[in-house]
Amino acid sequence: MSQPSLEFTGERFTPECVREMAYEHWHRYAWAAGLVDGLEVLDAACGEGYGSSLLAARAAAVVGLDIGADAVAHARERYPHGNLQFDHGDATQLPYADRCFDAVVSFETLEHLEAQETLLAEFRRVLRPDGFLIISSPDRKTYSDETGYNNPYHVRELYRGELEALLSSVFPSYRLYGQKLMFASAMWDLNACQGSQFLLNDDSVIERSELPSLPPLYYIAVAAQNEASLPAAPALSLYGDREESVYSHYNDEVARHIRAGHLLAEREAEIQRLRAQLERPWWRRLLGGS
């Protein structure tokens, strides 16, 4: 039996989305799941519910909350886990008691609201004294200013300084992490590159490993007569160019294929129109009738 899917409108991510958007969204939740092991978690603005389900695989209990009644109904049907519940409600007016969660996760939420201060204050209210928040926010400079892109669902995007000021006004301690889908050359120690890799397998299950498991195309060896003579080298190294030429080429190719698809559709429509004209009797074509 196939799983039900929620219609993709562009406002919410759904698991049926692929490529860039899928990488960004799945990576955030897979990373966050490693931080909430054994905790009671609120996934605020959970949308379709896929992220709450991923968190529930590690957390003691997860509550997914969303303002969309259709999304909540869908999530309840698609993700019926024993330690997972979905509630309908507004993240700026949380229907929960004070200090009832160990962690709050809220991805793709902040930029959709004007009342961002209220949102963070509510998160602080429902968190226990030693609880923590994991939240995402697009960088207005790189997301919108430099690309000229205007996301119609974003109400208030923040620059880095604005985000830090907002966070520090409610949470005195915080650390910022950057996220970006990149095209880069990667080199890693095949035996000692400790970290986190998340890989979607053929069964649509995210696997986590401490060592990169993608097969290398090349091997780089450093050799010496003894271990002490081997030079120290970083376990992970990334190389790219400031213009991100590979990524730019990729985006140009995607845009070109989209334009070509539109042109083909227009020509196909024109061919169908001309074919329909040719199929009319000659005397109707001559008179201009149908």
The highest-confidence range among 5-14, 217-226, 281-290, by mean pLDDT, is 217-226
Which residues, in sequence order, are CB contacts of 51 under 8 Å at separation 6+? 25, 28, 29, 32, 43, 64, 105, 107
The highest-confidence range among 20-24, 195-199, 255-259, by mean pLDDT, is 255-259
* Predicted pLDDT of residue 286: 63
* Predicted pLDDT of residue 1: 40
How would residue 105 be classed by pLDDT, with cut points 50, 70 and 90? very high
What would the mean pLDDT of 33-61 be, rounded to a whole number? Answer: 95
| Rounded-to-integer distance, Cα 277 and Cα 272, Å | 9
What value, to the nearest 5°, has the Cα angle with vertex 181 and ends 12 and 239? 175
Q: Which residue has the higher pLDDT, 217 or 179?
A: 179
Q: Which residue has the higher pLDDT, 261 or 217?
A: 261
CB atoms near residue 64 (< 10 Å): 29
> Do 154 and 137 meet the contact criterion of CB atoms below 8 Å apart?
no
What would the mean pLDDT of 67-74 be, rounded to a whole number? Answer: 93
pLDDT tens figures, 159-211 = 999 999 999 999 999 999 888 877 777 777 877 767 777 787 777 788 887 77
237, burial (CB in 10 Å: exposed 0-12, middle 13-18, buried 19+): middle
The pTM score is 0.73
* Predicted pLDDT of residue 16: 58
* Predicted pLDDT of residue 17: 53
Mean of the per-residue pLDDT values of the chain: 84
Share of the chain above pLDDT 70, in %: 87
64, 72, 168: which is closest to 124 by C-alpha?
Answer: 168
